[in-house]
């Protein structure tokens, strides 16, 4: 142990106390041992430092810091150097604000497009997410502050995120859900990893030894500290045994007593606590090195410019008929869409940043276009407004060019709840269709952090997708529209034609307390490509104002599985620009089922007009391997592998094959869905790859426990129904005054609070429900009122 000397001097109580937060954002300090308190803050696309009241959903105020594009927009740059720069900028702001640990990045996979928090995640592909996440961590940590890689693991939905039990087969876990974490851990050494709220295979992530110790520490060599997501601690004693070091926020000493007793009764070896303390002391050393002198006065101005650059580099041009874009500076433009004036540039929830400045698309366009007019066209409330629509259509009728800004509003995507469908608001669809009837030069600018259906795409001439592009996103969009920046962003997730094309759409969130991942690793392009389901816009797609020519693919074997791949890319068009060159590996070994191709390399190359550069990729064993569940290891199947270089997964320009030695390919359970991908995977298919599968038995009266929520119990319990109504009133009081599920703040808070497992009720605010009251509700819902009252009386006596 590195800090043996200090640990030996500390009492058991002090050691236990150090392993649980002092306040919502701070860790304990012990000046007698020189142990400093750390300040942790959200992330990840800026800082959410709260100085007044604290909360984990971005409800109370936070100081102004630069709001960069959210994860999905930042990842669309496919530019690891730029993301490192973004991390560095955030790290410098953290040093300025005395923050020791920035809570990010989130590298969960976008399993299904309806996850409410997809805007906070990078991609549907683990290779890309891992590389982008690693670059962000390196950037932040280069300033002597720490990061927290989250949410480990399998937090892929918001509904019942605090209690859902994820069942996933070993190959999907290893090949799809874990690699982004693995890459970030191995390449960037985050100072902490944050465990997720949910259960994995029946065990909460906070207590999950397999995840936190066996895989994270032993297999991947993680030597940092593991912290909980806010309120994710399930059982502190199991947590210590699993390798969970820091509980955040503290549970007001509630678990400390239990832990001390467990040590005294011989149920928990003190060594586990010493180990956690040792890691936390190392964490303090690693995250208190920020040097304020490195922070210049101009930091915010500089970062605003950087935010603009990143947003522009992540803008994805999806359509550009007849080269409508870029517009000339002196063009006359009619701007339509309330979102052009009231920007939506980030998502609600714990990542909500108070920006230092804020520019709208309107501001951006006005920097360029001399003559412009603006019309709202629709209301941000989900209601039809014929007057607004009519006025916009009339303006469009007499305009040469229309810039039409549409997208998801706050109620359509948020932390705390999932989306109900993949459409944009109906009032906006109506507007697009009406404007398209009267104008043939329509440039649609999309805002929104997750995939949407675009049945109207054929009716407009150009589409630029900006996602949630941060405080300078409006300026960045205008930079692209007027050609100051040549678009080079590419999709990091597939855009299907309709939600029903997504394989998990029939069962995602249908049984939210048990998320059985029937589709295994077939998410995003892994499904669409392999099953040959046509999509609207494929993974990796994005247009440029220039053209790139690919040539001279060379493949050199450097070792058994070490392969060097090079190719030339030339800018043969009329503009300087940047291309994202993608390398896919497609195995044709005839062995075990696997996606038809997978991303294994990418590079963003800047090329002036006429310039040509060579790109180089280095592949290794993992680029070709599948996980063998029986051997508990990665294996290579012998056979032929195609190396494909392209501008998107569907636009492969060069291809060569190599032959690899390895294990004899084996096919097992060939009649299952995983080989044919025809139709939808069934329970019967899943049990062939997940042997311990059991159907979830819904909880009913008599079986509720501390993992049940008021929302669930209210279905059968009058007292919980009354409590639910009370919660609505209390939450409404601070959120617009009335019970209104179309108010995003109200909805987020109500869904989170009413669906909290009862065990977590006491954790979130000073006036939240005490544990004994939570226990009372569970007993009452089970029909044991008297037992419930006894809990209250007993616990009051013990106070």
Positions that interact with ligand BGC (CB under 6 A): 42, 56, 103, 150-151, 229-230, 350
What is the separation, in whole angstroms, between the first and last Cα of the chain?
Answer: 38
Separation CA 501–CA 65 (nearest Å):
40
CB of 770 to ligand BGC, least distance (A): 21
Q: How far is the CB of 114 from ligand BGC (least distance, A)?
A: 17
Q: 737: Cβ–Cβ under 8 A, 6 or more apart, which residues?
A: none
Closest distance of CB 512 from ligand BGC, Å: 17
Task: Report the nearest approach of ligand BGC to the CB of residue 42 (Å).
Answer: 5
3-state secondary structure of 268: coil
The distance of closest approach from Cβ of residue 743 to ligand BGC in the complex, given in angstroms and rounded to an integer, is 20
Tell me how far, at minimum, the Cβ of 120 lies from ligand BGC, in Å. Answer: 8
Give the Å distances, CA to CA, from 692 to 167, 424, 621, 627, 687: 9, 40, 30, 19, 7
CA distances from 9 to 6, 31, 261 (A): 5, 13, 20
Q: Which of 229, 501, 685, 755 is catalytic?
A: 229
If the CB atoms of residues 151 and 465 are measured against ligand BGC, the closer one turns out to be 151
Q: Between 41 and 360, name the residue whose CB sits nearer to ligand BGC.
A: 41
3-state secondary structure of 604: strand
Q: How far apart are CA 185 and CA 544, in angstroms?
A: 34
148 torsion bin: left (phi>0), alpha (psi -120 to 50), beta (else): beta
Question: Within 13 Å, how many C-alpha atoms sit on residue 505's CB side?
Answer: 15
Q: Are the C-beta atoms of 314 and 73 separated by less than 8 Å?
A: yes
Report the C-alpha gap between 49 and 47 in whole angstroms: 6
User: What angle is formed at CA 626 by the lines to CA 555 and CA 215, rounded to 5 degrees?
Assistant: 120
Please report how close the Cβ of residue 518 comes to ligand BGC at its closest, in angstroms. 25
Contact 46, 68 (CB under 8 A): yes
Task: Give the tokens for residue 748.
Answer: 């987020």
Q: Note if the bond before 249 is cis, omega within 30 degrees.
A: yes
Cα angle 450, 455, 459 (rounded to 5 degrees) comes to 120
**Minimal distance in Å, beta carbon 354 to ligand BGC?**
14
Question: Measured from the CB of residue 401, what is the shortest distance to ligand BGC in angstroms?
Answer: 41
Q: State the DSSP string of 424-449.
A: PPHHHHHHHHHHHHH-S-EEEEEE-S
Q: Which helix (H) or strand (E) holds 316?
A: strand 316-320
User: Radius of gyration over alpha carbons of the chain, in Å?
Assistant: 26
C-beta of residue 601 within 8 angstroms of C-beta of residue 565: yes
Whether 229 is catalytic is yes
Q: Which is nearer to ligand BGC, 143 or 192 (CB)?
A: 192
Which CB sits closer to ligand BGC, 150 or 600?
Answer: 150
Buried b (16+ CB within 10 A) or exposed e, 747-759: bbbbbbbbbbbbb
Q: How far is the CB of 79 from ligand BGC (least distance, A)?
A: 24
Q: In terms of residues, how long is the chain?
A: 799
Cβ neighbors of 674 (< 8 A, separation 6 or more) are 520, 522, 593, 681, 685, 689
CA distances to 233, 364, 559, 711 from 40, in Å: 17, 34, 44, 31
CA dihedral (449, 451, 454, 460) positive or negative: positive
Q: Which residues are catalytic?
A: 229
């Amino acid at each position: 142990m590195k800090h043996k000397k200090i640990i030996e001097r500390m009492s058991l109580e002090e050691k236990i106390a150090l392993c649980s937060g002092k306040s919502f954002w701070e860790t304990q300090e012990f000046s007698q041992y020189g142990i400093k308190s750390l300040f942790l803050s959200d992330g990840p696309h800026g800082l959410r430092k709260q100085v007044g009241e604290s909360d984990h959903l971005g409800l109370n105020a936070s100081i102004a810091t630069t709001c960069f594009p959210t994860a999905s927009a930042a990842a669309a740059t496919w530019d690891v150097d730029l993301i490192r720069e973004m991390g560095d900028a955030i790290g410098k702001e953290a040093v300025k604000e005395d923050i020791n640990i920035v809570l990010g990045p989130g590298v969960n996979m976008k399993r299904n497009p309806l996850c409410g928090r997809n805007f906070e995640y990078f991609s549907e592909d683990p290779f890309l997410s891992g590389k982008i996440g690693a670059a962000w961590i390196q950037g932040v940590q280069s300033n002597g502050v720490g990061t927290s890689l989250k949410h480990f693991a399998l937090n892929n939905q918001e509904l019942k995120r605090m209690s859902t039990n994820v069942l996933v087969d070993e190959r999907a876990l290893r090949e799809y859900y874990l690699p982004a974490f693995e890459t970030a851990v191995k390449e960037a050494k985050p100072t902490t990893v944050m465990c997720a709220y949910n259960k994995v295979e029946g065990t909460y992530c906070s207590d999950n030894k397999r995840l936190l110790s066996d895989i994270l520490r032993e297999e991947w060599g993680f030597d940092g500290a593991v912290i909980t997501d806010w309120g994710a601690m399930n059982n502190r004693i199991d947590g210590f045994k699993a390798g969970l070091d820091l509980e955040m926020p503290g549970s007001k000493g509630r678990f400390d007593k239990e832990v001390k007793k467990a040590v005294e009764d011989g149920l928990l070896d003190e060594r586990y606590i010493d180990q956690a303390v040792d890691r936390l002391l190392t964490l303090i050393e690693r995250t208190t090195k920020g040097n304020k002198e490195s922070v210049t006065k101009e930091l915010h101005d500089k970062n605003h410019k950087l935010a603009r650059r990143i947003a522009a580099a992540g803008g994805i041009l999806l359509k550009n008929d007849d080269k409508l874009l870029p517009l000339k500076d002196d063009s006359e433009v009619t701007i339509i869409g309330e979102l052009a004036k009231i920007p939506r540039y980030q998502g609600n929830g714990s990542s909500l940043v108070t920006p230092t400045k804020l520019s709208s698309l309107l501001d951006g366009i006005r920097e360029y276009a001399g003559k412009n007019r603006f019309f709202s066209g629709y209301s941000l409330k989900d209601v039809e407004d014929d007057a607004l629509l009519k006025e916009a259509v009339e303006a469009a009728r007499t305009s040469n060019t229309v810039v039409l800004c549409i997208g998801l509003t706050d109620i359509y995507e948020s932390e705390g709840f999932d989306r109900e469908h993949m459409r944009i608001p109906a009032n906006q669809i109506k507007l697009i269709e009406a404007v398209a009837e009267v104008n043939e030069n329509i440039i649609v600018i999309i805002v929104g952090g997750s995939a949407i259906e675009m049945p109207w795409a054929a009716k407009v001439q150009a589409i630029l997708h900006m996602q949630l592009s941060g405080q300078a996103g409006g300026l960045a969009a205008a930079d692209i529209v007027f050609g100051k920046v040549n678009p080079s962003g590419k999709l990091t997730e597939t855009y299907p034609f309709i939600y029903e094309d997504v394989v998990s759409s029939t069962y995602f969130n249908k049984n939210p307390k048990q998320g059985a991942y029937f589709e295994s690793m077939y998410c995003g392009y892994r499904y669409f490509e392999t099953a040959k389901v046509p999509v609207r816009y494929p993974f990796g797609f994005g247009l440029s104002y220039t053209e790139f020519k690919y040539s001279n693919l060379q493949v050199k074997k450097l070792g058994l599985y070490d392969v060097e791949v090079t190719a030339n890319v030339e800018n043969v068009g009329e503009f300087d620009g940047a291309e994202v060159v993608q390398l896919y590996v497609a195995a044709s070994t005839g062995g075990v089922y696997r996606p038809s191709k997978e991303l294994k390399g990418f590079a963003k190359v800047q090329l002036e007009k006429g310039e040509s550069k060579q790109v180089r990729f280095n592949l290794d064993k993992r680029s070709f391997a599948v996980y063998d569940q029986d051997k508990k290891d990665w294996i290579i199947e012998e056979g032929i592998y195609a190396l494909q270089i392209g501008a998107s997964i569907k636009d492969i320009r060069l291809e060569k094959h190599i032959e690899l030695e390895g294990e004899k390919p084996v096919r097992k359970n060939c009649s299952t869905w995983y080989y044919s991908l025809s139709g939808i995977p069934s329970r019967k298919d899943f049990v062939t790859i997940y042997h311990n599968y059991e159907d979830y038995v819904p909880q009913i009266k008599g079986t509720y426990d501390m993992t049940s929520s008021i929302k669930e119990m209210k279905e059968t319990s009058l007292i919980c129904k009354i409590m639910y109504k009370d919660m609505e009133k209390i939450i409404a009081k601070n959120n617009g005054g009335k019970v209104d599920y179309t108010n995003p703040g109200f909805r987020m808070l109500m869904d989170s609070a009413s669906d909290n497992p009862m065990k977590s009720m006491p954790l979130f605010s000073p006036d939240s429900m005490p544990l004994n009251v939570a226990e009372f509700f569970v007993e009452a819902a089970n029909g044991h009122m008297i037992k419930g009252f006894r809990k209250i009386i007993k616990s009051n006596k013990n106070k």
